[in-house]
């Protein structure tokens, strides 16, 4: 478990030494703490195992950061990443730690808009806001920050972020599912391996790479087990709590996270055996599809689950899209294992790809296997890839007589009333 808790003043000293703006950081933590209290701790009949994740979130800028700093003091490097295309297997093989970076809330918007157009999507603006506002300890403790050329907005924004973040590494991502695209991805992972080796001074060999694959596969298997259990009727865990586990996936110590998720799954299996659910059996079941929901982006799930429905799956990078495939570890050379890693990540059906029939097919498959009564497609305003795909997704679902609601929003709370009215009407339709 985590090390013994220190006094908050000790953390203030730690944050100050990292260069955080203490006043702004305190304000952020106060808002997030209240939001977590109102959204997560207000839920009824939660699995006991969620207590661990509540603790992780309460200490996400404290004890976890202290752990990372202790690792750095012992010579281990920390690598921060914004995207699920960055292979944790390679990072672990080089005896480094991969962490997800904050991009789920608006911060320092006025400062951000001095660098980016106002009509940039919230996720990109958030990544700048946490840097410019000096409130993200994960950013500040990262020895390398990995940006990836996925959408056009990210590609161009990284040109500017490089001015603010001197340790930024850019990874190219193919835009087409073709042999040439697959070759590009493998070449990029080889280049990334070499960059990580240079950063850490550790040479990645077949044994260390197989070990890295094993650790990450174990994490994914635990989350996949959780996703399968959510298909039960009645649902044994809320969508909000399942989303939280998916979010903590990107921050926590891998072995500890895997153990904690499996313990929750043991508890959920007992609930299913007793037909004990967190919502009544006839509660409308919703599949959420679309943009990723990074911490602390909980607005839409909270609206859905306080409007008479339950979320039973996420077709999202912070969800099944990011965790559903495992990496084959049967090879015995570094090159063959890199091939296996490239194969695994090339199956991610992000909306950046064109054409992208795999994602549409997977949404239809998830709607069926999750016993979903309807689908809500979530798009961030100005996120062109997912907004563009929302229309064909809606048409394909409607052809299968699957009710669909398209939601386009941002990170602000200004539209909560309007969204709640729309979601409540959709849930009433499902009933």
Q: Indicate the pTM of the whole model.
A: 0.96
What average pLDDT does range 284-298 have in this prediction?
97
For position 9, what pLDDT does the model report?
59
Band of residue 2 on the pLDDT scale cut at 50, 70, 90: very low
Token match 């995207």: residue?
A: 83
For position 4, what pLDDT does the model report?
38
For residue 247, give every residue at least 6 positions away whose Cβ sits within 8 Å of its Cβ, in sequence order, or none: 293, 294, 295, 318
Band of residue 14 on the pLDDT scale cut at 50, 70, 90: very high
Residue environment code for 89-110, b if the CB has 16+ CB neighbours within 10 A, otherwise e: bbbbbbbbbbbbbbbbbebbbe
Q: Is residue 5 pLDDT above 80, yes or no?
A: no
For position 7, what pLDDT does the model report?
43
For position 239, what pLDDT does the model report?
98
Give the helix/strand (H/E) hosting 78. strand 78-81
What average pLDDT does range 155-182 have in this prediction?
96
Q: Is residue 3 pLDDT above 90, yes or no?
A: no
CA nearest to 8, candidates 58, 78, 57? 58
- CA-CA distance, 282 to 367, in Å (whole number)? 17
Q: What is the overall mean pLDDT for the chain?
A: 96
For position 102, what pLDDT does the model report?
81
Tens of pLDDT, residues 200-230 = 999 999 999 999 999 999 999 999 999 999 9
Q: Is residue 417 pLDDT above 70, yes or no?
A: yes
- CA-CA distance, 81 to 328, in Å (whole number)? 23
45: left (phi over 0), alpha (psi -120 to 50) or beta: left
- CA-CA distance, 364 to 125, in Å (whole number)? 31
Give CA separation, 248 vs 64, 252, 334, 342, 390, in Å. 11, 6, 29, 24, 27
- CA-CA distance, 222 to 183, in Å (whole number)? 30
Band of residue 10 on the pLDDT scale cut at 50, 70, 90: confident
Q: Is residue 163 pLDDT above 90, yes or no?
A: yes
What percent of the chain lies above the pLDDT cut of 70? 98
For position 8, what pLDDT does the model report?
59
- CA-CA distance, 395 to 239, in Å (whole number)? 25
Q: Is residue 24 pLDDT above 80, yes or no?
A: yes
- CA-CA distance, 247 to 102, in Å (whole number)? 11
Q: Is residue 357 pLDDT above 90, yes or no?
A: yes
| Cα 233-238-243 angle, rounded to 5 deg | 125
For residue 426, give every residue at least 6 positions away whose Cβ sits within 8 Å of its Cβ, in sequence order, or none: 374, 376, 403, 405
Q: Exposure of 296 by Cβ count < 10 A (0-12 exposed, 13-18 middle, 19+ buried)?
A: buried
- CA-CA distance, 95 to 318, in Å (whole number)? 25
Give CA separation, 115 vs 111, 112, 138, 253, 365, in Å. 7, 5, 22, 34, 41
Q: Is residue 117 pLDDT above 70, yes or no?
A: yes
Q: Which phi and psi (to 5°) does residue 170 adopt?
A: -105, 125
Q: Return the domain boundaries, the chain.
A: 8-430
- Coil, strand or helix: which one is 410? coil
Cα end-to-end span (Å), the chain: 43
């Amino acid at each position: 478990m985590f090390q013994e808790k220190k006094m908050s003043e000790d953390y203030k000293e730690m944050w100050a030494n990292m260069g955080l703006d203490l006043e702004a950081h305190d304000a952020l933590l106060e808002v997030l703490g209240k939001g977590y209290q109102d959204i997560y701790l207000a839920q009824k009949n939660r699995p006991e195992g969620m207590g661990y994740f509540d603790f992780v979130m309460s200490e996400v800028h404290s004890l976890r950061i202290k752990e990372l700093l202790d690792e750095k003091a012992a010579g281990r490097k920390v690598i921060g990443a914004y995207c699920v295309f960055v292979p944790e297997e390679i990072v672990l093989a080089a005896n480094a730690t991969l962490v997800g970076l904050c991009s789920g809330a608006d911060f320092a918007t006025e400062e951000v808009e001095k660098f980016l157009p106002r009509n940039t999507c919230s996720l990109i603006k958030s990544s700048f806001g946490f840097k410019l506002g000096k409130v993200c300890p994960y950013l500040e403790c990262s020895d390398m920050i990995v940006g990836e050329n996925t959408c056009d907005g990210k590609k161009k924004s990284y040109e500017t972020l490089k001015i603010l973040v001197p340790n930024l590494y850019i990874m190219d991502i193919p835009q087409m599912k073709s042999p040439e695209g697959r070759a590009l991805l493998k070449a990029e992972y080889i280049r990334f391996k070499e960059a990580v080796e240079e950063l850490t001074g550790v040479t990645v060999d077949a044994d260390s790479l197989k070990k890295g694959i094993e650790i990450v596969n174990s994490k994914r298997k635990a989350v996949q087990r959780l996703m399968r259990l959510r298909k039960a009727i009645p649902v044994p865990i809320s969508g909000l709590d399942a989303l939280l586990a998916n979010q903590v996936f990107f921050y926590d110590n891998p072995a500890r996270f895997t153990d904690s998720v499996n313990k929750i799954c043991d508890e959920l299996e007992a609930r299913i055996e007793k037909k004990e659910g967190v919502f009544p059996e006839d509660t409308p079941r919703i599949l959420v599809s679309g943009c990723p929901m990074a911490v602390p982006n909980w607005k839409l799930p909270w609206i859905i689950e306080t409007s008479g429905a339950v979320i039973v799956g996420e077709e999202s990078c912070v969800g099944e899209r990011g965790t559903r495939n495992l990496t084959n570890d049967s090879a015995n050379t570094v090159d063959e294992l890199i091939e296996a890693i490239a194969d695994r990540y090339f199956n991610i059906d992000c909306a950046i790809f064109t054409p992208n029939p795999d994602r549409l097919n997977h949404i239809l498959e998830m709607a069926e296997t999750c016993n979903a009564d309807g689908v809500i497609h979530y798009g961030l305003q100005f996120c062109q890839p997912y907004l563009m795909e929302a229309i064909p997704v809606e048409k394909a679902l409607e052809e299968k007589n699957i009710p669909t609601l398209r939601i386009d929003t941002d990170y602000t709370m200004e539209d909560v009333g309007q969204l709640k009215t729309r979601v409540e009407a959709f849930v009433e339709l499902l009933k």
